[in-house]
Amino acid sequence: MAYSEKVMDHFANPRNVGEIPDADGIGEVGNSRCGDIMKMYLKIDGDTITDVKFKTFGCGAAIATSSMATELVKGKSIDNALQLTNKAVMEALDGLPPVKVHCSVLAEEAIKAALSDYYQRKGIDPTLIIGAPSTSDEDREDPTCGE
């Protein structure tokens, strides 16, 4: 297994690491048993994601995909962020080894979980806007572990 240069760059120099104390939306996905947890913080002004930070427990790909996902939504509109796919994250990183595809799925889910939290805080049912993750089954590694 080898990571692309872009993955190694985002792993070694992750962008947007940290927390936003007064975040407008926070999403956490994954679990410690599987070895990956991603937590995303969004600051939203009107329709725009003005700031985004993340914290991740996980492997090199988990950190790199988190970092890339924050870069892909920062400064963008909510609509734009809602269209983020794990494929887009992978492509921006010049690909991932097959066993690491699930990390990109988590990154997409983390952004969506934070947006979901944002809508919930505003009293809007997020399932109508966000729905289920847009990943196709073939991209998706079996997310269960240790069973």
Partner 1 sequence: MRKIYADNAATTALSPEVLEAMMPYFTTVYGNPSSLYEIGSEAKEAVENARLKISQLIGAKSANEIYFTSGGSESDNWAIKGVARALKKRGKTHIITSKFEHHAVLHTCHALKKEGFEITYVDVYENGIVRVEDIEAAITDKTAIVSIMYANNEIGTIQPIAEIGKLCRDKGVIFHTDAVQAMGNVPINVEEQNIDLLSMTAHKLHGPKGCGALYIRKGIRPAVLIDGGAQERGMRAGTENVAGIVGFAKALELAIAGQEYRREHVTAMRNRLIDSLLTIERSRLNGDRDKRLPGNLNMCFEGIEGESLLLMLDMNGISSSSGSACTSGSLDPSHVLLAIGLPHEVAHGSMRLSFSDDITEEDVDYIADRVKYIVNYLRNMSPLWETIKKNEKEGKA
3-class secondary structure per residue, 36-67 = EEEEEEEEEECCEEEEEEEEEECCHHHHHHHH
34 is catalytic: yes
Q: For residue 119, what are the CA distances in angstroms to 116, 122, 124, 130?
A: 5, 5, 5, 10
130 touches partner 1 (CB under 8 A): no
32 touches partner 1 (CB under 8 A): yes
Q: Give 34's contacts (C-beta < 8 A, 6+ positions apart).
A: 143, 145, 146
Using CB under 8 A as the binding criterion, the count of chain residues that bind partner 1 stands at 32
Per-residue contact flags (x/-) with partner 1 for residues 37 to 76, judged by CB under 8 A: xxx---------------xxxxxxxxx-------------
Which residues are part of the catalytic machinery? Answer: 34, 103
Binding site for partner 1 (CB under 8 A): 1, 8, 11-12, 14, 17-18, 28, 32-39, 55-63, 99-100, 141-142, 144-146
